[in-house]
Amino acid sequence: MIKKISHIGIAVKSIDEQISYYRDDLGLKFTGIEIVKDQKVKVAFFEVGEARIELLEPTSEDSPVAKFINKKGEGIHHLAYGVENISESIKEMEKAGEKMIDHKPRMGAGNHQIAFLHPKSTFHVLTELTEEH
Ligand code: ZN
């Protein structure tokens, strides 16, 4: 089941514009940038204790994050919980009646297996499960 907060995803128009706020002003440890092709985003990672802040910059206009920004503006995009076993957690969520966007795990940033719950099931908080060890 859920072990911890893994990360908070924040939708941004430009990582370059915001990186100094997180790294220099807040003093968080910047640990790198990665392109996640599947989701058409560039992701910047910052460590906060056991958890991370992930800045998500769309790499294309048809990226889900671009659509999010067009609709709601920049800001908190999703909350990710770290779980022990992602396949088991998906089954548990479905058994509990939650609607999943991903019925099977898929590859997310950092080579972690992830799955999203449907916002209709989570009172509009886009929620991700991620398996991390
Ligand atoms: Zn995430």
- Delimit the domains of the chain by residue range: 2-131
What percent of the chain stands above pLDDT 90? 89
- Please report which confidence band the pLDDT of residue 111 belongs to, taking 50, 70 and 90 as the band edges: confident
Q: Which residues contact 101 (CB under 8 A, 6 or more apart)?
A: 115, 116, 117, 118
Asked whether 93 and 47 are in contact (CB, 8 A), the reply is no
Instruction: Summarize pLDDT for 80-93 with one digit per residue, the tens.
Output: 999 999 999 999 99
Q: Which letter, b or e, does each residue of 13-40 get, where b requires 16 or more Cβ atoms within 10 Å of its Cβ? A: eebeebbeebeeeeebeeeeeeebeebb
- Tell how far the Cα of 12 is from the centroid of ligand 1, in angstroms: 14
Ion ligand 1 neighbours (CB, 5 A) are 9, 80, 128
- Please report which confidence band the pLDDT of residue 132 belongs to, taking 50, 70 and 90 as the band edges: confident
Q: Is pLDDT at 109 greater than 90 in this prediction?
A: no
pLDDT at 8: 98
Task: Report the candidate in 78, 108, 114, 80 with the shortest Cα–Cα distance to residue 3.
Answer: 80
What is the Cα gyration radius of the chain? 15
Q: Which helix (H) or strand (E) holds 48?
A: strand 41-48
Question: Two tokens at 49?
Answer: 């204790």
* Residues facing 8 on adjacent strands: 53, 79
Asked whether 95 and 87 are in contact (CB, 8 A), the reply is no
CATH number corresponding to 2-131: 3.10.180.10
- Tell how far the Cα of 97 is from the centroid of ligand 1, in angstroms: 22
Whole-structure pTM value: 0.93
Instruction: Summarize pLDDT for 39-90 with one digit per residue, the tens.
Output: 899 999 999 999 999 999 999 999 999 999 999 999 999 999 999 999 999 9
- Tell how far the Cα of 90 is from the centroid of ligand 1, in angstroms: 16
- Tell how far the Cα of 67 is from the centroid of ligand 1, in angstroms: 16
Average pLDDT of the chain is 95
